[in-house]
C-alpha cells in the first residue's frame, strides 16, 4: 500500500518527537526546606519563589528591594499562572551556596512567550547582573540563546544571592510559566535534547506537508490542497507562538513580528481549516445549514482578529478594555468553531461516511488541547504539569495525524472507486468487443452473401449479354437475307426498266426501294450490334462534330421515309460553330428519331425544319438543335406523357412503333449532360429542342499557377 507506509513513517517520527519533548520537559521535585543545593538534575522551584503584585506599575528595583517581607507571598505551586491581569508582577528567589565551591546554575521560565521581562541579580546588596528582555524586545537581549527564557546564575561559595524578575504583559494575558532550576551542564544537555525534539517535530510536519503536496499535485483533489495550506500555516504559527524558534532563528531583530503571529496567523489558520472541513465533509450538499454556520463563524473570527490587530498593544501604552473583551471573544469563537467541526463530522459520520470518524477524533483532540491550554493559564484548581503545559502541541499533533488518516482513507476510497470504475469499464469494453465481434461476423457473413449474389448477378449479366450478342447476331443474320433478296430484286427491276425502250413509271419506286435496302443494310452493319446497345451504359464519348453535318444526315434519313414531306435544313454558318464536342452517334440517333417522328405523325405536304444555333454568346453556353413541324400538334393531356415509355398519342394509330423513341432520345441527350424539351399546341405543330452543354472553361487554382 504506497499510501499507508509513508504516513505510518511520519506518524512514528512525530511520536518519537513527542517523547523527546516529554523527556526534555520532565523534572524532579525537591524537598521544600527553603534552601537549594546545586545538583545536575532539574528542580522545580515552586515554593522557593515569592510573588509580589504591582497594580499601579510604579515600583522599580530599589522600591521592591526595600519592601518588607510580608508584602511577598510564597508561590503555592510549581507553575506561575497569572492568567488575565492588568498588573505587573515581581518574583523573588533567595539562594545560598553553603558549599566550598561556586556553582553555575540556570533558572528557566519554561515558556517562549512573555512580553516584558526584567532580570536583576543581587549579591551582597549590589546588582551584579541585569537584563531587560521579552518578546517585545530583540532576541539578543536574552541572557542565553534559548527559545524559552533562561537566566544563568553564578553562585559564589558561602554567599547569598537574590534574583528579582519583573513580568509584564501588554495584552494583560500572562502565559503559564513553569519555574525550574538546572545545573549548567544539565541545562545544556536539556537544551540539546529539546532542539532535537523540535527538529523531529518540524521535520515530520514538513515531510507530511511535502507528501500531501505531492498528492495534491498528482490528484488535483482540493482537500489535499486545503490540508497543505492548513498544515503550513499551523507549523508557522507553532514556530512563533509555541516553540519560540521562529523568534530565535527567523526574525530575532524584529520583535514586532510576534504581534503579527499572535493576531494574524490564527486568521490564516481558520480559513483553510474551514475549507478543509467543508470540502471533506461536503457540507454544502449534506449539511447546508451547518455549512452556512461554519463559514459565518469563520468570517466572524476573521473580523474579530482584524479588530484585535487594530487594537493591538504598543509598548509603553496601557491597552483598553475593548482589546481584552475581543481577546476573550476570539477564544470563545475559536473553541465554538472547533466544536462545530466535531459536531459536523459526527453528523456526516452518522449519515454513513466512515472517513468522517477520523475528522471527529482529530478535531476533538485539538479542541481538548486548546481548552486545556487556556485553562492551564488561569489561577485555580486546574492542574499544571507537563501534559497541560504541552496540551496545545499534543492536541494539534494528534489532530494533524488523524486528519492525514482521514485524507488517506478518503484517497483509498477514491482509488477503490476508480478501480471499480475501471473494472466496470473493462467489463463493458469486453462486452462491447464481444458484441462488435458478433456484429462483424454477422456483417461479414452478410457481405459474403451479398458478394455471392453479386457474383451470381454478374454471371447472369454475362450470360444475358452473351444471349443478347447471340440474339443480335441471329437477328442480323436473319434480316440480311430478306434485305439482300429485296435489294437484288429491286436492282433487277431497275435494270429491266433501263433496258426497255419505253420509260417505266415505276422506275422511281425501284430507286427508293434500293435506297431503303441500303439504309437497312447500313443499320444492320452499324447499329444492330451489341456495342451500339451498350452506348448508354458506357457513357458519352465526345468527339469533334460539325452541327450542320448532323442536321443534314438526319434530314437525308427522313427523306427516305417520305418523298411527300418538305424537309428543310436552316443553318447560319456565321453564327453556328464549325466544330462542337459531343457524342456523334448518340446525338445523330436522337436527331433522326425526332425527324422521323415528325415525318411519321404529320400529313403529307407538311414542312419539317431542322435548325441549330449557339445557346449564348460564349462557347461554354452550349449548342441547341431544333426539329420543328407544322403538323396537327398535341393536346395538354398528351404533352404530360409525351416522354413516358410506351406512350403513343391518338395520331399514332396505324403507324409502326412501340412508343420508346422519344424516351430513348431524351436519355441519349441527358447522358451527355443536355436536355430535350418539347413545345406543342393543337393545330400549331411541335417544336423539339436539344440543348448540349459546351466545354467547361479551365479555372486557375487559387494563388495562380506555380
DSSP labels for 478-502?
HHHHHHHHHHHHHHHHHHHHHHSSS
With a CB cutoff of 8 Å and minimum separation 6, the contacts of 282 are: 348
* CB-based contacts of 570, cutoff 8 Å, min separation 6: 609, 610, 611
Q: Dihedral through CA 99, CA 100, CA 104, CA 105, nearest 10?
A: 0
Domain annotation covers residue 139 = yes
Strand 607-614 to strand 566-570: parallel, antiparallel, or no bridges (unpaired)?
parallel
Interstrand relation of 160-168 and 73-74 (parallel, antiparallel or unpaired): unpaired
Does residue 125 form part of some domain?
yes
Element spanning 96, H or E: strand 88-96
Q: Could you tell me the CA-to-CA distances from 430 to 417, 424, 425, 596 in Å, in that order?
A: 20, 10, 9, 71
Q: Is residue 86 part of a domain?
A: yes
Residue ranges, the chain, pLDDT below 70: 1-44, 46-47, 262-263, 312-320, 380-381, 384, 467-478, 480-481, 484-485, 488, 499-508, 510, 519, 521-539, 616-617, 619-620, 652-658, 696-706
Can you read off the three cell numbers belonging to residue 256? 514586532
What residues contact 257, with CB distance under 8 A and at least 6 apart?
Answer: 240, 246, 247, 251
CA dihedral 55, 56, 60, 64 (to 10 degrees): -40
- DSSP 8-state symbol, 239: I
Inside any domain, residue 684: yes
Four-residue CA torsion sign, 332, 335, 341, 347: negative
pLDDT tens digits, one per residue of 216-273: 998 888 999 999 999 998 888 888 878 888 888 888 888 877 777 766 777 778 899 9
Query: Max alpha carbon distance in the chain (Å)?
Result: 191
3-state class of 103 per DSSP?
strand
What is the per-residue pLDDT for 537?
57
User: Which domain covers residue 624, as residue numbers?
Assistant: 539-692
Closest CA to 175 of 262, 234, 237: 262
d(CA 394, CA 388): 9
Q: Say how far apart CA 11 and CA 490 lie, in whole Å.
A: 126
For residue 573, the SS3 value is coil
- Please give the Cα distance from 441 to 55 (Å, whole number): 100
| Alpha-carbon distances of 161 from 20, 120, 138, 209, rounded to whole Å | 33, 10, 27, 49
Q: Report how far residue 643's alpha carbon sits from residue 456's, in angstroms, rounded to the nearest whole number.
A: 34
pLDDT at 26: 37
Last residue of a domain, one of 119, 148, 182: 182
3-state secondary structure of 83: coil
Q: For residue 42, is it within any domain?
A: yes
Counting DSSP H helices and E strands in the chain, the numbers are: 20, 18
If we measure between CA atoms, which residue out of 388, 386, 380, 378 comes closest to residue 174? 378
Residue 364 falls within a domain, yes or no?
Answer: no
Confirm if 672 and 600 have CB atoms less than 8 A apart.
no
**Which 8-state DSSP code applies to residue 569?**
E
Q: Among 136, 168, 166, 171, which Cα is nearest to 151's?
A: 166
In angstroms, the CA 317 to CA 298 distance is: 31
Here the CATH number for the domain that contains residue 619 is: 3.30.565.10
Give the model's pLDDT for residue 218.
87
3-class secondary structure, 304: helix
Domain endpoint, select from 150, 182, 214: 182
Count: domains in the chain? 2
DSSP string across 415-462: HHHHHHHHHHHHHHHHHHHHHHHHHHHHHHHHHHHHHHHHHHHHHHHH
Query: CATH no. for residue 32?
Result: 2.60.40.2380
So what's the pLDDT on residue 84?
Answer: 80
* Integer angstrom CA distances of residue 637 from 231, 301, 443: 96, 96, 50
Helix, coil or strand: residue 367? helix
Q: Which pLDDT value is given to residue 605? A: 85
Q: Helix axis angle, 321-350 relative to 288-310, nearest 10°?
A: 160
Q: Is residue 614 part of a domain?
A: yes
> Which residues contact residue 631 at a Cβ distance below 8 angstroms, ignoring those fewer than 6 apart?
598, 601, 602, 603, 606, 685, 686
Query: For residue 391, is it within any domain?
Result: no
Among 182, 212, 228, the domain boundary falls at 182
Amino acid at each position: 500500500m504506497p499510501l499507508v507506509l509513508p504516513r505510518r513513517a511520519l506518524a512514528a517520527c512525530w511520536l518519537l518527537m513527542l517523547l523527546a519533548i516529554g523527556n526534555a520537559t520532565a523534572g524532579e521535585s525537591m524537598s521544600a526546606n527553603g534552601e537549594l543545593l546545586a545538583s545536575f538534575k532539574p528542580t522545580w522551584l515552586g515554593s522557593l519563589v515569592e510573588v509580589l503584585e504591582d497594580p499601579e506599575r510604579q515600583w522599580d528595583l530599589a522600591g521592591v528591594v526595600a519592601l518588607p517581607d510580608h508584602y511577598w507571598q510564597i508561590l503555592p505551586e510549581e507553575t506561575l499562572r497569572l492568567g488575565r491581569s492588568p498588573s505587573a508582577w515581581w518574583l523573588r528567589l533567595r539562594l545560598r551556596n553553603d558549599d566550598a565551591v561556586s556553582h553555575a546554575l540556570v533558572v528557566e521560565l519554561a515558556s517562549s512567550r512573555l512580553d516584558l521581562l526584567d532580570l536583576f541579580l543581587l549579591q551582597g546588596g549590589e546588582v551584579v547582573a541585569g537584563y531587560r528582555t521579552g518578546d517585545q524586545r530583540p532576541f539578543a537581549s536574552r541572557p542565553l540563546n534559548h527559545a524559552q527564557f533562561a537566566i544563568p546564575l553564578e553562585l559564589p561559595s558561602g554567599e547569598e544571592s537574590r534574583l528579582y524578575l519583573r513580568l509584564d504583559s501588554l495584552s494583560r494575558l500572562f502565559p503559564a510559566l513553569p519555574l525550574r532550576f538546572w545545573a549548567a551542564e544539565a541545562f545544556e544537555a536539556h537544551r540539546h535534547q529539546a532542539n532535537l525534539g523540535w527538529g523531529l517535530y518540524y521535520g515530520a510536519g514538513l515531510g507530511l506537508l511535502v507528501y500531501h503536496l505531492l498528492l495534491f499535485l498528482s490528484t488535483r483533489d482540493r482537500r489535499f490542497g486545503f490540508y497543505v495550506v492548513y498544515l503550513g500555516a499551523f507549523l508557522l504559527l507553532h514556530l512563533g507562538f509555541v516553540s519560540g524558534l521562529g523568534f530565535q532563528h527567523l526574525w530575532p531583530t524584529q520583535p514586532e513580528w510576534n504581534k503579527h503571529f499572535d493576531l494574524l496567523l490564527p486568521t490564516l489558520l481558520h480559513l483553510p481549516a474551514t475549507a478543509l472541513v467543508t470540502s471533506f465533509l461536503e457540507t454544502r450538499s449534506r449539511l447546508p445549514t451547518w455549512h452556512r454556520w461554519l463559514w459565518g463563524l469563520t468570517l466572524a473570527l476573521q473580523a474579530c482578529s482584524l479588530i484585535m490587530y487594530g487594537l493591538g498593544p504598543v509598548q509603553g501604552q496601557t491597552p483598553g478594555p475593548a482589546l481584552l473583551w475581543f481577546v476573550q471573544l476570539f477564544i470563545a469563537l475559536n473553541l465554538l468553531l472547533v466544536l462545530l467541526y466535531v459536531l459536523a463530522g459526527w453528523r456526516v459520520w452518522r449519515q454513513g461516511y466512515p472517513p468522517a470518524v477520523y475528522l471527529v477524533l482529530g478535531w476533538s483532540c485539538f479542541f481538548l488541547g486548546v481548552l486545556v491550554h487556556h485553562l492551564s493559564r488561569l489561577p485555580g484548581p486546574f492542574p499544571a504539569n507537563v501534559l497541560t503545559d504541552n496540551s496545545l502541541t499534543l492536541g494539534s499533533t494528534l489532530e494533524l495525524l488523524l486528519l492525514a488518516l482521514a485524507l488517506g482513507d478518503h484517497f483509498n476510497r477514491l482509488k477503490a472507486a476508480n478501480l471499480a470504475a475501471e473494472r466496470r469499464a473493462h467489463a463493458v469494453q469486453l462486452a462491447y468487443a464481444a458484441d462488435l465481434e458478433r456484429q462483424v461476423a454477422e456483417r461479414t457473413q452478410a457481405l459474403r452473401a451479398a458478394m455471392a449474389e453479386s457474383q451470381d448477378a454478374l454471371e447472369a449479366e454475362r450470360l444475358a449479354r452473351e444471349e443478347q450478342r447471340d440474339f443480335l447476331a441471329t437477328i442480323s443474320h436473319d434480316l440480311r437475307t430478306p434485305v439482300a433478296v429485296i435489294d437484288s430484286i429491286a436492282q433487277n427491276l431497275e435494270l429491266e426498266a433501263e433496258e426497255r425502250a419505253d420509260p417505266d413509271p415505276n422506275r422511281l419506286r425501284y430507286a427508293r426501294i434500293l435506297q431503303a435496302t441500303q439504309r437497312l443494310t447500313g443499320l444492320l452493319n452499324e447499329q444492330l450490334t451489341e456495342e451500339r446497345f451498350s452506348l448508354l451504359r458506357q457513357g458519352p464519348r465526345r468527339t469533334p462534330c460539325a452541327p450542320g453535318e448532323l442536321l443534314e444526315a438526319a434530314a437525308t434519313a427522313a427523306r427516305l421515309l417520305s418523298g411527300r414531306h418538305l424537309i428543310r435544313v436552316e443553318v447560319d454558318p456565321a453564327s453556328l460553330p464549325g466544330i462542337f464536342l459531343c457524342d456523334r452517334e448518340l446525338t445523330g440517333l436522337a436527331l433522326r428519331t425526332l425527324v422521323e417522328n415528325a415525318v411519321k405523325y404529320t400529313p403529307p405536304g407538311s414542312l419539317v425544319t431542322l435548325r441549330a444555333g449557339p445557346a449564348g454568346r460564349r462557347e461554354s453556353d452550349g449548342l441547341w438543335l431544333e426539329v420543328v413541324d407544322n403538323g396537327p400538334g398535341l393536346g395538354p393531356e398528351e404533352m404530360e406523357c409525351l416522354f413516358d415509355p410506351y406512350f403513343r398519342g391518338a395520331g399514332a394509330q396505324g403507324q409502326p412503333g412501340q412508343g420508346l423513341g422519344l424516351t430513348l432520345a431524351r436519355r441519349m441527350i441527358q447522358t451527355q449532360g443536355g436536355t430535350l424539351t418539347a413545345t406543342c399546341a393543337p393545330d400549331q405543330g411541335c417544336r423539339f429542342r436539344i440543348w448540349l452543354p459546351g466545354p467547361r472553361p479551365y479555372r486557375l487554382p487559387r494563388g495562380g499557377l506555380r
